[in-house]
Amino acid sequence: MTIIRFFQPFCTIKDHCNDFPLLCYNRQEVERRAFPVERDKPQEQKNTVKRKKRKIHWPRFIIFITAVLLVVGLGVGSGLLFAWATDTPSFSPDDLDVHTTSILYDIHGNEFARLHGGENRTLVELDTIPQSVLDAFLAIEDNKFYEHHGVDFLAMIRAVMANITGGYGTQGASTITQQLVKNAFLTPDKKLKRKVQEAMLAFQLERTYSKDEIFQMYLNRIYFGEGAYGVQAAAHTFFGKPISEVGLHEAALLAAMPNAPNHWSPYRNPELAEQRRQLVLTQMNRFGYITAEEAEEAKQNQPTVVERGNRVGSASSNLYPYFVDYVIQETIEKYGISENLLYRGGLRIYTTVDPKVQRPAETSLSDSKNYPPSRGSQPVQASMAVIDHTTGQIRALVGGREHTAKRGFNRATDLKRQPGSAFKPVAVYAPALEMGRTTATVVDDVPVRYGNYEPDNYDGVYRGLITMREATQYSVNIYAVKLLNEIGVQNGYNFSKRLGIKSLDDKRDQVLGLSLGGLTHGTNPLEMAGAYGAFANKGVWIEPHAVTQILDREGNVYVQAKPKQDIVMKETSAYLMTSMLETVVQSGTGTRAQMNRPVAGKTGTTELPKDDPQFRGMRGNKDAWFAAYTPELVGVVWMGYDQTDRNNYLYQTYGGSYPAQIWRSVMTAALRDVPVKAFPRPRGLTEVAVDIKSGMLPSDLTPSQFIKTEIFDERTVPKETSNVWVEGVVCVDTGLPYTFGDDCEGGLTRAVFLQRPVPYTGAKRPLDAALEVPTPIVADEDADDADSNNTPDVPLRPNETPAVPTPAPATPSPSPAENNQQQQNSSSNSSGNSSPSQNDRNVPSVPAEPPASGNGKKDEEEKKQEADDVIERPLTPPAELF
């Protein structure tokens, strides 16, 4: 009545006083209340004073507007609730037990597997489950389960408030009853409409079943990961015992997993699983299920998880079992489809697998000829992922030599191993090319130290000044580390993430070791295939995926795949990366993968951990990788042991051996009837002859064997001329620099020497140290200034005793015209022209020294004349350099 009286002056239903007498009003009374005026003044004053303008009573006006909006909002909300309620699926207890088979189809639309309700599940009665298990689930999932009527409204309000910034559903508030309803009747989306329908069905479920019946159905239905459905199967899967024998410390781990089975899995993420287990015990103590002492004791008593057992989620056929496992994983984790819907919903799942690729992959990985002999009790394992880089679709997936457990450990997707040098293109070379470096960028491959980090090359050989192409070809570690240091570790790290490497650690992986694949958590073949796919796909990364479309039982589109894409690098940069990786297969560490078609690839090998005492003094490897692609497909192979120890490790097995052999076997079969084509070359590229010891244009002194034609982005063609070569006079018979007064019986010649931009004097000499001059060569007073300025001062060959420097004559410098002609000859020679350059001229015989006479002055003059007659000749580098 008070509310009606308050709003009475604002109502406008005068004509309906008979029906609503309480709301009738008098207009004058309304005006008097809403617009009060002065009425207590004498009549005379009223007549003489001008009437004041009526004022709006703002507080009442605002209250009125607010009330109107509230009424309208309630009306709209009621309408939405009514509409959603009418659209709620009908409740039927029979739906809890319906089994409908789902069918999987390959890329050609042919059925290859069926999924049905034969999950790894054993039903148990509630009274056979230990109280500690029941309490653990109640504490972490729904502490007020026995108090509410299916929905905890306070929890929902808290969840909505917590999700204001993250969108509805980021933090859940579902009761145990709602979770059971969601799994049995509804789609997995997190929209408000579904939450309303979930609440309504929860009320109906509570009216149909008792609390104990609902709790029992929930504990028998929920999924724990690893193919275990229900608490009984979970107890056997994780602890190897029935649920009746599970203790408090183990019960907490079981209750920790259903919220996100794969995320909290003690197999996949043991540290996270332990954190979640500790939280469950804390909650149990908080709500009074256990004492603080019991909670602390259980926290200290960490459960022992048994080795992976059999997995279920059965398929009606044994075709492509590892691929089927991944399809199940993708539909659950990526598309949020519940296990109930997947195994009982009658779905039609269209996948990306191609039998022409999958079958050869399974055959090759099961063939013992493709493996080294096992050194211990374990078999050597391998896995492979093959994708179509133009779409990101997975064409083949094999997670091991044989499939022994359904939904078991899939080494192609669940593996976390360091990729070694196969990661160099991902974290170093590709970002460097994108940042303006070229395939001819030169770095000095000599020992280096960064603080406590001292990388070395796998073969113990240092090659000196080399290009990016040569470093990629021979998998040179020092080059990769130095280049990553130049471009910035963060740039390499960010580029790797854009290429789909998800397991990177923001703190521990932003180090120089990233260049050599020293990842904290490692990666797997599928991620690596996606990363290399960007090189093959003109710089565009597409997320690898196994499902293209899912239809419901009525034929409606339930899921339409829309994989993520990212343009991570220019098309020209991607082609240059491909060109270098082709060199690896043509003449580098990956020659075993050669086919009768273009192949670009990279090997990767990780050694036994040197800091592990059990491997002290041992030489061997832990992992071997081969990542490569053709214009049609990308494939990545991993090989190693599941558990590496002193008796089980790879001996004389590298990425370029058995893994490359498996890759070639699979691709040869998969592409047997596919026409051969080259990698498409984009516009904006050009070929230029460069000095491979400087990465610059050749100079007059550059020896022809160090002039190579390289491919460049037109924007990064070098403009400067090489400055790493100098001249000097040497004795023909000794190869040592000529010093005034030396007795050179074989005559003299002018030689070209290498001069490093940054001198290196360490004990471990690079191969090209043999190109350097052993002592400074000082020109005599008659020599050209140009020659006298070029005085190298680093050794020619290791362990040689330097000669005493004395003045040496020099020939006149060539004229600009001659210089020009010599450069043209050098360029034409590097392009295949047979015309010799200046450095290819034959050296005429040097006149023999005349018989000795007693005239010392005459002998001295003859020697000086002999030096003046020297004709230039290039120094032939040692054969081991090539």
Q: What is the pLDDT of residue 765?
A: 93
pLDDT band at 878 (very low <50, low <70, confident <90, very high): very low
Q: What is the pLDDT of residue 200?
A: 74
Q: Is 452 left (phi over 0), alpha (psi -120 to 50) or beta?
A: alpha
pLDDT exceeds 60 at position 174: yes
Please name the residue ranges forming H helices in 13-152.
27-34, 43-48, 58-86, 131-141
Higher pLDDT among residues 660 and 844, named by residue? 660
Report in angstroms the alpha-carbon separations of 129 from 121, 230, 744. Answer: 15, 11, 99
pLDDT band at 781 (very low <50, low <70, confident <90, very high): very low
pLDDT exceeds 50 at position 882: no
Q: What is the pLDDT of residues 471-484, one digit of tens each?
A: 999 999 999 999 99
Highest-confidence segment of 108-122, 579-593, 797-811: 579-593
Q: What is the pLDDT of residue 738?
A: 74
Exactly one of 102, 132, 141, 579 is catalytic; which is it?
141
Token pair for 44: 């005379």
Q: Are strands 778-779 and 807-808 parallel, antiparallel or unpaired?
A: parallel
Q: What is the pLDDT of residue 728?
A: 84
pLDDT exceeds 50 at position 400: yes
Q: Output the furthest CA–CA distance in the chain (Å, rounded).
A: 155
pLDDT band at 156 (very low <50, low <70, confident <90, very high): low
Chain centroid offset of residue 220 CA: 37
Q: What is the pLDDT of residue 833?
A: 36
- pTM value is 0.63
Return the H-helix or E-strand segment holding 612: none
Q: How far is the C-alpha of 510 from the C-alpha of 493, rounded, in Å?
A: 6
Average pLDDT over residues 299-304: 94
Q: What is the pLDDT of residue 830?
A: 36
Q: What is the pLDDT of residue 732?
A: 82
Other residues' Cβ atoms within 10 Å of the Cβ of residue 615: 18
Closest CA to 348 of 560, 188, 610: 560
Higher pLDDT among residues 796 and 512, named by residue? 512
Q: What is the pLDDT of residues 318-329, one digit of tens each?
A: 689 999 999 999
699 in catalytic set: no
Token pair for 220: 């028998």
Q: How far is the C-alpha of 555 from the C-alpha of 557, rounded, in Å?
A: 7
Q: Is 713 left (phi over 0), alpha (psi -120 to 50) or beta?
A: beta
User: In this structure, which long-range contacts are made by residues 560-565, counting pairs with CB atoms below 8 Å and at least 24 apart in sequence?
Assistant: 563/391, 563/392, 565/392, 565/540, 565/541
pLDDT band at 118 (very low <50, low <70, confident <90, very high): low
pLDDT exceeds 60 at position 574: yes
Return the H-helix or E-strand segment holding 651: none
pLDDT band at 227 (very low <50, low <70, confident <90, very high): confident
**Domains in the chain, please, with CATH?**
2-55 (no CATH), 119-300 (1.10.3810.10), 420-670 (3.40.710.10), 685-715 (no CATH), 721-832+856-881 (no CATH)
pLDDT band at 881 (very low <50, low <70, confident <90, very high): very low
Highest-confidence segment of 223-237, 767-781, 837-851: 223-237
Give the range among 313-327, 709-723, 829-843 with minimum mean pLDDT. 829-843
Exactly one of 102, 132, 265, 421 is catalytic; which is it?
421
Percentage of the residues of the chain whose pLDDT score is greater than 70: 71
Q: What is the pLDDT of residues 402-424, one digit of tens each?
A: 887 777 889 999 999 999 999 99
pLDDT exceeds 50 at position 819: no
User: Across the chain, what does the average pLDDT equal?
Assistant: 79
Q: What is the pLDDT of residue 363?
A: 96
Higher pLDDT among residues 291 and 97, named by residue? 291
Q: How far is the C-alpha of 397 from the C-alpha of 321, rounded, in Å?
A: 9
Please name the residue ranges forming H helices in 345-449.
355-366, 424, 430-434
pLDDT exceeds 90 at position 64: no
Q: What is the pLDDT of residue 120?
A: 64
Residue 722 has phi, psi (to 5 degrees) of -60, 140
861 in catalytic set: no
Q: What is the pLDDT of residues 127-154, one digit of tens each?
A: 999 999 999 999 999 998 998 887 776 7
Q: What is the pLDDT of residue 874?
A: 37
Q: What is the pLDDT of residues 456-465, one digit of tens each?
A: 999 899 999 9
Other residues' Cβ atoms within 10 Å of the Cβ of residue 45: 9
Average pLDDT over residues 810-839: 37
Other residues' Cβ atoms within 10 Å of the Cβ of residue 350: 17
Higher pLDDT among residues 72 and 203, named by residue? 203
Q: Are strands 565-567 and 540-542 parallel, antiparallel or unpaired?
A: antiparallel
Q: What is the pLDDT of residue 190?
A: 53
pLDDT band at 777 (very low <50, low <70, confident <90, very high): very low
Q: What is the pLDDT of residue 643?
A: 92
